[in-house]
Amino acid sequence: MKGGLSRKALLAGLSDGEGEVADTRPVEMERLSAVPEDVLEAVREVFVSAGLNDTDEAVAAVLVARREVTASWEAATRNFLSIGRTLNRLEAQIRGGNAQRALRAGCARIFPFGDAVASQLRAVARAVDGGVIKENECPGSYAAAYQLTLLDAEELSAARQKGLVGPGVTRPALLAFRRAITAAARPGAQIDLSALRSELRRVQVRLEALDVERGNLRRRREEIEALLSGDGE
């Protein structure tokens, strides 16, 4: 490795010291020994590019933090996939369009998010469970993962070639990719009627859900007005 920083030196630095850290050091050394060489090099270059010394102590601290952040990031991915799967299972269990529309309209009153977020979570879970996106390549953000579900097979293949399908991919990067696809489309290109019909169905479902929600709100408003009227007498 360049710049004098090596795995051996890093782990040797961790072996120094005394006191209460002695019991945890072997565990940290074992975990850090599995860090890829390119990651160690990247950390070193980050320090050097900022004009700082790439000390073994600082690098070790960064690598420990990286391990913890990566574990939490992967857990976040598993969590939003689990939520999406639960919502899909719930939707399948609730028979009837009216019941499903009512649930979507009242989503924010039942769950800690609204229907827009729930729809994205469901879409991502369907894409992963349907094999469109592999679970281990799913972005760590559900909002970024949802952008992948909006791509067709050819566009998704192009995104993979550009390195835009993976845990570290961000929503802004995917939005930029989708904008580039739109800009590159030929003027007068054939309209995708199937996609338009699907979008029309989604819009219709959303409008119906909003109608249900508006009805609920109107009834609640009347109840509140009646209570306030009685209080003033």
Residue pLDDT, tens place only, 41-88 = 777 777 666 666 656 677 777 777 777 777 776 787 789 999 999 999
The pLDDT, as a whole number, for residue 72 is: 73
Whether residue 14 is predicted with pLDDT greater than 80 in this model: the reply is no
Q: Taking a C-beta distance cutoff of 8 angstroms, is the pair 159, 148 a contact? A: yes
b/e sequence 45-75, b meaning 16+ C-beta within 10 Å: eebeeeeeebebeebbebbeeeeeeeeeeee
**pTM score, two decimals?**
0.57
pLDDT at 181 over 80: yes
pLDDT at 134: 93
The tokens describing 92, both together, are 């399948």
Report how far Cα 190 is from the mean position of its chain's Cα atoms: 32
Helix/strand/coil for 38: helix
CB atoms under 10 Å from CB of 213, counted, come to: 19
Give yes or no for residue 145 having a pLDDT over 90. Answer: yes
List helix spans (H) across the chain. 7-15, 25-32, 37-49, 56-93, 97-105, 107-110, 115-129, 142-149, 153-161, 171-184, 193-232
Q: How many CB atoms lie within 10 A of CB 5?
A: 19
Cβ atoms < 10 Å from Cβ of 77: 20
Mean pLDDT of the chain: 78
Whether 13 has a pLDDT exceeding 50, the answer reads: no
- Residue 223 pLDDT exceeds 80: yes
The mean-pLDDT minimum among 8-17, 97-106, 118-127, 142-151 falls in: 8-17
Residue 194 has pLDDT above 70, yes or no: yes
